[in-house]
């Protein structure tokens, strides 16, 4: 050990010690060395690596699940509210409350007039005549006009001069100047004894009237309201013949073409 200036260095370890005190002779503890500086371990702050970022927060799955559950619960409650109200207000008081019955919606009932008007639009003569007779009995001349040949219509007296077109004849019908009807069951002029007037398939021979259509003839009556039978020769109660036509062509329907008055047996 070598000492100088109050310090001693060991030859074996190389450590420094304080020199023994001049008085007392006890060995002295070595002085505490200062913290050595090791550049490889104590780097400046600007050479230190940047700190690692904190880990991302864990996803809040639990909160999302709670929100979804609350939404579903609200929807279920809203849907269940009407059912709950029904059982609370109706089933619980079923003995004292009765639910008013609501009549079922039904189609409007058809009336004979509507059916008869629709029955005019046909090429089946039996159906047409049934509807025509019903409307004639009801004095529904507005509906009858839809099935009349208004351009060529003639009302012809066989034992008087003159005739009426549809405009004149329709005016008398609506004014109730006379009342018409068709016999039931229907009769043809030949069956009624009027064959001598020549009601044929192409017209009326007695009148030299030719009609270019399929023809049907039905016997009926005409009477002036409030007058005795046969009081007016033009509108005699007996001897009326209705003339109907079915024009040639597609979609044709039966029409009222003419009417003759004062037919008689044997053309006398």
Read off the pLDDT of each residue in 100-125 and give the average, rounded to a whole number.
68
Cβ atoms of residues 259 and 231 within 8 Å: no
Both tokens of residue 187? 């009769």
Residues 133 and 263 in one domain: yes
Q: In the predicted model, is pLDDT for residue 153 greater than 90?
A: yes
111 half-sphere exposure, CB direction, 13 A CA radius: 5
Spatial distance between the Cα atoms of 189 and 159, rounded to a whole number of angstroms: 17
* Same domain for 139 and 224: yes
**CATH number, domain with residue 251:** 3.10.450.50
pLDDT of residue 134 exceeding 70, the answer is: yes
Question: What is the C-alpha separation between 160 and 114, in angstroms, rounded?
Answer: 37
Q: Please tell me whether residues 156 and 244 are part of one structural domain.
A: yes
Q: Based on the fold, state whether residues 147 and 252 are members of the same structural domain.
A: yes
Q: Which two tokens stand for residue 90?
A: 């109706």
Lowest mean pLDDT among 79-88, 97-106, 149-158, 234-243: 97-106
User: How much is the pLDDT for 7?
Assistant: 64
Kindly state whether residue 81 falls inside one of the protein's structural domains. no
Residue 113 covered by a domain: no
Question: Per-residue pLDDT tens for 155-203?
Answer: 998 877 789 999 999 999 998 888 899 988 999 999 988 999 999 999 9
pLDDT of residue 190: 92
Determine phi and psi for 173, rounding to 5 degrees: -65, -50
3-state secondary structure of 86: helix
Structure tokens at 122: 């046909």
Backbone phi, psi, residue 3, to 5° = -120, 145
For residue 127, tell me if it sits in a domain: yes
Q: Using CA atoms, how far apart are residues 176 and 64, in angstroms rounded to an integer?
A: 88
Q: Which of these, 158, 248, 163, lies nearest to 196 by C-alpha position?
A: 158
- Judge if the upstream peptide bond of residue 74 is cis by omega within 30 degrees of 0: no
CB-based contact 256:132 (threshold 8 Å): yes
Residues 134 and 237 in one domain: yes
Give the separation between CA 213 and CA 245, rounded to whole angstroms.
6
pTM exceeds 0.75 for this model: no
Judging by DSSP bridges, how do beta strands 154-157 and 255-261 pair with one another? parallel
Q: What is the residue range of 7's domain?
A: 1-42
Strand partners, 218: 242
Residue 57 included in any domain: no
pLDDT, residue 68, reads 81
What is the spatial distance between Cα 232 and Cα 172, in angstroms, rounded to a whole number? 15
Strands 2-4 and 209-210: unpaired
**67-77: per-residue pLDDT in tens?**
888 888 888 77
- The predicted-structure confidence for 14-62, as pLDDT tens digits, reads as follows 666 665 554 444 455 555 555 555 555 555 555 556 667 676 665 566 6
- Residue 209: pLDDT over 80: yes
Q: Is residue 17 part of a domain?
A: yes
What is the full DSSP assignment across 61-79? HHHHHHHHHHHHHHHHHHH
Q: Residue 235's pLDDT band (boundaries 50, 70, 90)?
A: very low
**C-alpha closest to that of 29 among 48, 15, 43, 41:** 15
The count of structural domains within the chain is 2
Tell me: pLDDT of 230 over 70: no
Residue 70 lies in a domain: no
The answer as to whether 99 is a domain residue is: no
Q: 125 and 254 share a domain?
A: yes
Tell me the C-alpha distance between 69 and 250, whole Å: 72
Residue 109: inside a domain, yes or no?
no
User: What pLDDT shows up at residue 92?
Assistant: 52
Alpha carbon distance 1, 16 (integer Å): 9
- Integer-rounded Cα Rg, in Å, for the chain is 62
């Amino acid at each position: 050990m070598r000492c100088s200036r109050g310090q001693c260095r060991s030859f074996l370890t190389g450590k420094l010690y304080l020199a023994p005190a001049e008085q007392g002779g006890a060995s002295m503890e070595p002085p505490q060395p200062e913290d050595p500086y090791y550049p490889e371990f104590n780097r400046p702050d600007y050479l230190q690596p940047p700190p690692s970022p904190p880990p991302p927060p864990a996803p809040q799955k639990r909160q999302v699940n709670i929100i979804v559950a609350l939404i579903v619960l609200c929807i279920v409650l809203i849907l269940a509210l009407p059912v709950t109200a029904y059982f609370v207000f109706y089933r619980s008081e079923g003995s004292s409350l009765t639910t008013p019955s609501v009549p079922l919606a039904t189609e409007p009932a058809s009336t004979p007039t509507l059916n008869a008007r629709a029955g005019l639009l046909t090429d089946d003569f039996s159906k047409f005549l049934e509807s025509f007779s019903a409307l004639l009995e009801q004095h529904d001349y507005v509906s009858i006009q839809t099935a009349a040949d208004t351009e060529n219509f003639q009302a012809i007296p066989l034992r008087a001069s003159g005739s009426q077109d549809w405009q004149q004849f329709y005016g008398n019908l609506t004014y109730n100047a006379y009342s018409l009807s068709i016999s039931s069951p229907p009769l043809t002029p030949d069956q009624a004894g009027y064959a001598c007037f020549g009601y044929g398939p192409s017209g009326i021979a007695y009148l030299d009237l030719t009609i270019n259509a399929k023809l049907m003839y039905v016997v009926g009556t005409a009477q002036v309201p409030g007058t005795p039978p046969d009081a007016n020769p033009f509108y005699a109660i007996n001897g009326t013949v209705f003339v109907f036509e079915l024009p040639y062509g597609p979609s044709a329907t039966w029409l009222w073409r003419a009417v003759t008055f004062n037919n008689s047996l044997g053309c006398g």
